[in-house]
Structure 1
Amino acid sequence: MKKPSDRNNATFEDLIGLGDHSARKNYYPELTQKLDELDVERNRYKWLFDNALHGIFQADLSGRFRTANPAMASLCGYSSAGDLV
């Protein structure tokens, strides 16, 4: 196992413990494919969120905005969603 100071130079395989003789290494291609698929889906939903014509927001239990799209910011009179959050 690498020391925390070595982690900046570590590969993904090193960080998740996939040594040369690891049985888990057989699952690595499937894992990376699933992660790539999730990344594509996340980007698709992020694009929809950012470009929706209607205001969308997420609030915590106390009612504070956690995130909002640009349309919601505009509806509330702000120039950017970052001003709302």
Structure 2
Amino acid sequence: MSGGIPPLRDRHLAAGFIVVMYLMVAALLAGITVSAFSDSGVAVGSAACAGGVLGAAAGVWRVHRTPEEERADEGTP
């Protein structure tokens, strides 16, 4: 195999993977942080949702900021 997980070689799938990973990590961190300071499940859920939205936005920004040459497909299936 010459580089990468085959499904992630497609740049659109890779970009989606990056956005989802940013979303999940940010939601987890926000939920854990708020749960340390609050006993309210509503506050933890709200923080996780807000963290997920901000994480997804950061993932989209990160993908958009990456130079086109780095995002280009290699042309191999």
Which category of TM-score, normalised to the shorter sequence, fits these structures?
Answer: 0.3 to 0.5
Larger RCO: Structure 1 or Structure 2 (Cα < 8 Å, ≥ 6 residues apart)? 2
The structure whose Rg is larger is 1
Tell me the TM-score normalised to structure 2 length: 0.38
Higher helix share: 2
